[in-house]
């Protein structure tokens, strides 16, 4: 029999076409998975769910919880795993640091939760506060306190005795979390070191099969699978709908936002005799499409309450304009603007970067706010609707010049790539050929050093090369493009100012 393999990227998940070995099902009409009397256990996986509500009839906590409850009602032994990332980023998390996601998850609590990098976006204090509110256990065998001791409230792994099989389950958090988020002095040990240690310990303690639950990038995922140290890998972080089975090891990731929730039914058998007797399994995959379920009534009622609270929060005044603020498209795509300065200042201050660069195309309000306007959170989100995230790239001064050259390369067309900056000044000769228009750059009042490495705050769209900004992403991978919402950073900055006096400062000089 050919081993089934299905790997679907986040761009493909909304137009799903699954290959052999996986089936998109409704819970009411799942496939027959084993002959009568067969020993079957189920593993259920969700990962990377940030938005509390559904989107175009798919995803969200109410549909997720409906799937979980229906799977549990099937009556088979089951372990429900959440592979991390839910505290942030979302609009509501900017207000309550993820408390609402914990409450909604508690309504159909997982048996295993592995913290993702976004669980640390608000720092260690908020992380532990949310953990204390959770009615589910945190698994992370590679997380330790600064002195190397176990973190309070965390489990490395344990053996689940499901009657028909003993499953050894352990968790692995993203080892690069300190680089991507705000985990303080917590230590994150290397992935494979942790996998080797825990797989051996659980088998030694009597586990028939070993399951690794991880929030790791695809490279680490593949290293785990190829090691043959575990039987099953349930993972998150990449946001892909991915199902692979090569005849020996299963790997599953369940997309993002609860759009799809994957069930793995393990039909159990044995091989060998006496001391060599081993438990074997045959996997069957069911991909639950959240469009096909009725949202859980209790959860959706709470989501609606939160959404009402959020609507009230959006109309909260965060600052008052002492002068006119112009965000018209023609302006933000052709010259320095006061709003562009506010946005980039917010990004630089929030991230602690040396400088900040963002694109004018990210600003979409296209209006003039008169002096005296009481600027609200809703106004910020109207101006910045894309959900872009603040990220930091470490690049040379030469890369910064290349990025700025790209930014002014289509100034005649008022293209969305036009740059807005903080922490530096830029002089542009408009009449020169594209690619040679930047004639002077200063950082903190000093000439830019083309060989020096600078920390540059930007948005994740640009870091991926959006609007031609390939020079900013030379030293990063996809794992680096996850950060706090730019809009949240702007809100915090405007609130700190209280009164906004819009002005330009000569950050970009066009000659």
Summary mean pLDDT of the chain: 89
Q: Do 103 and 137 contact (CB within 8 A), yes or no? A: no
Distances (CA, A) of 460 to 250, 413, 490: 31, 24, 15
Look at residue 25 and tell me whether its pLDDT is greater than 60.
Answer: no
pLDDT tier for residue 465 given thresholds of 50, 70 and 90:
confident
The average pLDDT across 461-471 equals 85
SS3 content of the chain, % helix, strand, coil (to 5): 30, 30, 40
The counts of H helices and E strands in the chain are: 14, 30
Residue predicted with more confidence, 110 or 362: 110
pLDDT tier for residue 263 given thresholds of 50, 70 and 90:
very high
For 152-209, the pLDDT digits (tens) are 999 999 999 999 999 999 999 999 888 767 788 999 999 999 999 999 999 999 999 9
N-terminal to C-terminal alpha carbon distance within the chain: 69
- Angle at CA of residue 320, ends 328 and 500, nearest 5°: 70
Look at residue 26 and tell me whether its pLDDT is greater than 80.
Answer: no
CA 458 – CA 462 distance, rounded (Å): 7
Can 5-303 and 315-510 be said to share one CATH topology?
no
Residue predicted with more confidence, 229 or 276: 229
Centre a 10 Å sphere on the Cβ of residue 299 and count the other Cβ atoms it contains: 24
CATH of domain 5-303: 3.60.21.10
pTM of the entire predicted model: 0.71
CA 89 – CA 26 distance, rounded (Å): 29
User: Given the structure tokens 């593949």, which residue do they identify?
Assistant: 222
For 95-144, the pLDDT digits (tens) are 788 999 999 999 999 999 999 998 988 889 999 999 999 999 999 999 99
Q: Do 248 and 23 contact (CB within 8 A), yes or no? A: no
Look at the alpha carbons of 215, 220, 222, 228 in this order and tell me if their dihedral is positive or negative: negative
Q: How far is residue 490 CA from its own chain's centroid? A: 20
Centre a 10 Å sphere on the Cβ of residue 48 and count the other Cβ atoms it contains: 26
pLDDT of residue 22: 43
Q: Six-digit token pair at 426?
A: 């830029």
CA 51 – CA 259 distance, rounded (Å): 11
Look at residue 347 and tell me whether its pLDDT is greater than 70.
Answer: yes
Q: Six-digit token pair at 129?
A: 């506060």
Question: Any idea which architecture 315-510 has in CATH?
Answer: Alpha-Beta Complex (3.90)
Beta bridge partners of 266: 41, 283
Q: How far is residue 269 CA from its own chain's centroid? A: 38
CA 340 – CA 131 distance, rounded (Å): 37
In terms of Cα–Cα distance, which of 408, 409, 337 is closest to 367? 337
Which H, E and C letters describe 332-381, residue by residue?
HCCCCCHHHHHHHHHHHHHHCCCEEEEEHHHCCCCCEECCCCEEEHHHHH
In terms of Cα–Cα distance, which of 73, 180, 197, 167 is closest to 121? 180
Q: How far is residue 370 CA from its own chain's centroid? A: 37
Look at residue 149 and tell me whether its pLDDT is greater than 50.
Answer: yes
**Torsion angles phi and psi, residue 354, rounded to 5:** -75, -40
Q: Six-digit token pair at 48?
A: 């990377």
Sketch the domain layout of the chain as residue ranges.
5-303, 315-510
Residue predicted with more confidence, 470 or 338: 338
Q: Six-digit token pair at 90?
A: 């979302």
């Amino acid at each position: 029999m050919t081993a089934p393999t299905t790997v679907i990227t986040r761009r493909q998940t909304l137009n799903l076409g699954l290959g052999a070995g996986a089936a998109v099902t409704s819970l009411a009409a799942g496939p027959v998975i084993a002959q009568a009397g067969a020993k079957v256990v189920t593993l259920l996986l969700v990962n990377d769910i940030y938005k509390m509500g559904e989107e175009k009839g798919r995803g969200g906590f109410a549909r997720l919880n409906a799937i979980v409850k229906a799977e549990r009602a099937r009556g088979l032994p089951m372990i429900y795993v959440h592979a991390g990332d839910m505290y942030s980023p979302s609009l509501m998390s900017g207000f309550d640091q993820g408390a609402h996601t914990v409450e909604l998850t508690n309504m159909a609590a997982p048996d295993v939760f592995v913290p993702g990098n976004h669980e640390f976006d608000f720092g260690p204090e908020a992380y532990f506060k949310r953990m204390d509110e959770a009615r589910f256990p945190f698994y992370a065998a590679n997380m330790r306190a600064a002195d190397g001791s176990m973190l309070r409230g965390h489990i490395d792994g344990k053996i689940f005795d499901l009657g028909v099989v003993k499953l050894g389950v352990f968790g692995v958090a993203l080892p690069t979390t300190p680089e991507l988020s705000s985990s303080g002095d917590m230590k994150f040990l290397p992935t494979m070191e942790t996998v080797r240690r825990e797989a051996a310990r659980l088998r030694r303690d009597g586990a028939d099969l070993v399951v690794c639950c991880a929030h790791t990038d695809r490279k680490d995922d593949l290293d785990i699978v190829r090691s043959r140290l575990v039987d099953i890998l349930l993972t998150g972080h990449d946001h892909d709908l991915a199902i692979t089975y090569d005849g020996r090891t299963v790997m599953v990731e369940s997309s993002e936002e609860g759009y799809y929730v994957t069930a793995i039914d393990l039909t159990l058998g044995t091989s060998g005799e006496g001391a060599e007797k081993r438990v074997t399994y045959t996997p069957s995959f069911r991909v639950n499409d959240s469009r096909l379920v009725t949202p859980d009534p209790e959860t959706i009622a709470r989501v609606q309450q939160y959404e009402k609270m959020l609507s009230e929060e959006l109309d909260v005044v965060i600052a008052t304009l002492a002068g006119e603020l112009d965000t018209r498209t023609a302006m933000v795509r052709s010259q320095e603007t006061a709003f562009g300065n506010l946005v980039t200042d917010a990004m630089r201050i929030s991230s602690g970067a040396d400088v900040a660069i963002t694109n004018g195309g990210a600003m979409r309000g296209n209006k003039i706010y008169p002096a005296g306007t009481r600027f609200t959170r809703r106004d910020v989100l109207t101006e910045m609707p894309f959900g872009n995230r603040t990220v930091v790239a470490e690049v040379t001064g030469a890369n910064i010049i290349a990025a700025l050259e790209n930014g002014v390369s289509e100034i005649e067309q008022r293209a969305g790539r036009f740059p807005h900056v903080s922490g530096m000044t830029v002089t542009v000769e408009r009449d020169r050929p594209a690619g040679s228009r930047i004639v002077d750059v200063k950082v903190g009042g000093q000439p830019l050093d083309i060989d020096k490495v600078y920390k540059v705050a930007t948005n994740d769209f640009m870091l991926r090369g959006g609007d031609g900004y390939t020079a900013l992403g030379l030293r990063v991978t996809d794992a680096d493009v996850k950060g706090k919402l730019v809009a949240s950073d702007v809100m915090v900055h405007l609130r700190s100012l209280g009164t906004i006096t819009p002005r330009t400062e000569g950050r970009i000089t066009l000659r």
